[in-house]
Structure 1
Amino acid sequence: MPEHAPLGVAVIGTGRMGADHVRRIQEVISGARVTAVVDVDAERAEAVAARAGGCAVHTDPAKAMASADVDAVLVASPGPAHEAALMAAFAHDLPVLCEKPLTPDAASALRLVEAEQALGRRRVQVGFMRRYDPEYARLKALLETGRLGRPLMLHNRHRNVASPDFFTSEMLITDSVAHEVDVTRWLLGHEITAVTVHRPAPSAGAPEGLADPQFVVLETAGGALSDVEIFVNCGFGYQVQAEVVCEGGTARIGDAHDLVTAAAGRWGGSIAQDWTERFADAYDREVQAWVDATRRGEVTGPGSWDGYAAAAVCEAGTRALREGGRVTVELAERPALYG
């Protein structure tokens, strides 16, 4: 890639997330352009390519990666397809931004960690976009100052208006709580060692058979506890909130106090209705940071180890959901590459 030329990106997966990333690269961020889109549904890929001003369309990720005008890859396909796409990217030595999950299970995620380690350098950034949200970033910066003392507890609330028809009880953990798993590891700076999942009586608003809400407790190697209220059919809005309780004070984010009105004897504001509204800025910042780092020849942000660790914690969580009780998290030894 010439020094001042835009980064040529192949976007793999043209569903809601992939199409939004195509729009983001073409219309919002700088320093990159979409040179290829890939999807098993060629008609859908062609429609997305047309909206992007026209670019190459492929149904095979490896063929797209072999193109001379592809400098990097953004993977937004379903999780089960991620391992093959990332292995192909490794074969072409291409940097990747991979939407979470890295893969749906710990074993396949560990294979990717080992394959990347064999390359001798990091090539993957995993799409845990909350790290790029301004509120979460300020909370992380505050904790790093040490002014509040040692973190003791982290309280998380994660609520959706309604869950998709295909959602299962396990997906509350693997698709939703996975974000809090990464946030816990990132904010507190320790690996998660055990998971317990409590199941209150299901909400009347939850589909038949869906264990919703759930209350998840994460234990960390540093002795702190992190709890997650996950409620994916709350009915009223999309809320993501976090409060850290430290030895010398507390800090809370996610209250959405950007605009509060007072009129006609009432006060209040609005509640976001989905993640695309709440975290739009975080996604923009995440992709821009990835493009900027890639153009410098660097890989920053959450990596393959973070994706693997999240997968291992979610596996322990789904087991705790099924079997009850406390389940320990089994992690491989962390390679020096991810130190």
Structure 2
Amino acid sequence: MTNDARPPLGVAVIGTGMMGADHVRRIDEVISGARVAAVADIDEGRAKDMAAGIHGCGAYADPAEAMAAPGVDAVLIASPGPAHEETLLAALARDLPVLCEKPMTTGSESALRVLEAELRLGHRRIQVGYMRRYDAEYLQLKALLDSGELGRPLMLHCRHRNVSVHRYFTDEMLINDSVSHEFDAARWLLGQEITAVRVLRPAPSGHAPAGLSDPQFVVFETDGGAIVDVEIFVNSGFGYQVQTEAVCERGTARIGEAHGLMTSTAGRWGGAIAPDFLARFAAAYDREVQAWVDATRRGHVTGPGTWDGYAVAAVCEAGIEAQRTGRRVPVRMIDRPAFPS
């Protein structure tokens, strides 16, 4: 805890499902400088249950009512992606700082509407929740690449594996819900925009739900000449893994090997693999929300913003088209506008 005399930032958390509930816990129990002032969920009963254990927290079914509640200074959006645009525009209309879980919106056109609304406001208000930028290993890799010690990055090899997914998971969700993280991480690590995408499909795993082509292999190009490949395998059956290897002119660097505690016993050696993203990136989420709170209390917005949300949405659209057609699909984006500080 810090010795800060300023009152804590009052946060309205929109959406109290798995991700929203985890953020409510994080703000209430883990980070400093903030409190949960309101929660909102389409299931008002769930919102009331969430608010019941938090002093001074109101519960609402309507996000707009939560944002207008007494003591609310900022908004954390963890509702389903299709609801994000309306909530983001409402928050901008109130000039409230926002941390929005990815996706910022579910398409490039809606993302562009949010981006343009923020530009009209004249100052940044939205941070998008690409939490890998706050993971300790990703931060180390970013610093190494930026230092130039290994020379120019030529390729990134990425692996993204889940134990399993719900049976309603679709091919499009492989891109929008999973590989979207690699799209943002690659843009950030390389400092380059993605220009084209291809998707290759090996024979599906026998453990994939009917109708889901899993695993898939996504390859994309950047405007700096780098090539990135992503193995996405959401029914691996053994654990949650996110790994990246950067291949550079003078060496390579790898993260995500999960070399924590290793045991040797009974003729075997091994360790544990995280079961899901909340376990693997718990510290990154803590660091992300703390950084957002600290910056907001100073009157600033840091981290990935509306341009990043728009760029990833545009790449996802190209990825889905590539997935459907089997072709190399160029990414269609506007030129990057000048953003206010």
TM tier, smaller: over 0.9
Q: What amino acid sits opposite 1:324 in the alignment?
A: G
Aligned residues: 338
Q: Alignment partner for residue 183 of structure 1, among 173, 182, 185?
A: 185
Matching of residues 45-124 of structure 1 within 5 Å: 45-53=47-55, 55-124=57-126
Output the CA distance in 2 between the equivalents of 1:277 and 1:98: 20
TM-score by length of 2: 0.97
Cα drift, residue 270 of structure 1? 0.8
Distance change in 2, residues 1:134/1:227 (3 Å) = same
Q: What TM-score, normalized by structure 1, do the two folds share?
A: 0.98
In the alignment, the residues of structure 2 paired with residue 53 and residue 324 of structure 1 have an alpha-carbon distance, to the nearest angstrom, of 54
State the superposition RMSD in angstroms: 1.2
Q: Is the 8 A contact 2:58 2:69 kept in 1?
A: no
Deviation of the 1:3 alpha carbon: 6.6
Asked if structure 2 preserves the Cα contact closer than 8 Å seen for 1:45 and 1:57, the reply is yes
Alignment match, 1:260:
262
Q: 4+ runs of 1 displaced by more than 6 Å?
A: none
Secondary structure of 1:94's aligned partner: coil
Residues 123 and 340 in structure 2, CA contact (< 8 A), matched pair in contact too: no
Distance 1:112 1:102 in 2: 9
1:22 and 2:27 matched: no
Does the 8 Å CA contact 1:14/1:39 hold for their aligned counterparts? yes
Task: Give ranges in structure 2 of 5+ residues lacking alignment.
Answer: none
Q: Describe the superposition over 1:226-251 as per-residue Cα deviations: whole angstroms up to 9, x where unpaired.
A: 10000000000000000000000000
Counterpart residue number, 1:311 = 313
What SS does structure 1 have at the residue aligned with 2:85? helix
Shift of 1:324: 1.2
> Percent sequence identity over matched residues?
70
**Distance in 2 separating the partners of 1:338 and 1:190:** 21
Deviations 1:243-275 (A, max 9, x none): 000000000000000111122222110111111
**Counterparts of 1:174-323 in structure 2 under 5 Å?**
174-323=176-325
Partners of 1:22 and 1:52 within 8 A in 2: no
In structure 1, distance between residues paired with 2:179 and 2:55: 36
Residues 273-325 of structure 1, C-alpha deviations (whole Å, 9 max, x = no match): 11111000000000000000000000000001001000000000001111111
Q: Give CA-to-partner distance per residue, 1:111-147, whole Å, 9 cap, x none.
A: 0000000011110000000000000000001111100
How far apart are residue 66 of structure 1 and its match? 1.7
Measured after TM superposition, the shift of residue 338 of structure 1 is 6.9
1:110-189 equivalent positions in 2, closer than 5 A: 110-189=112-191
The worse-fitting range, judged by mean Cα deviation, of 63-72 and 212-221 is 63-72
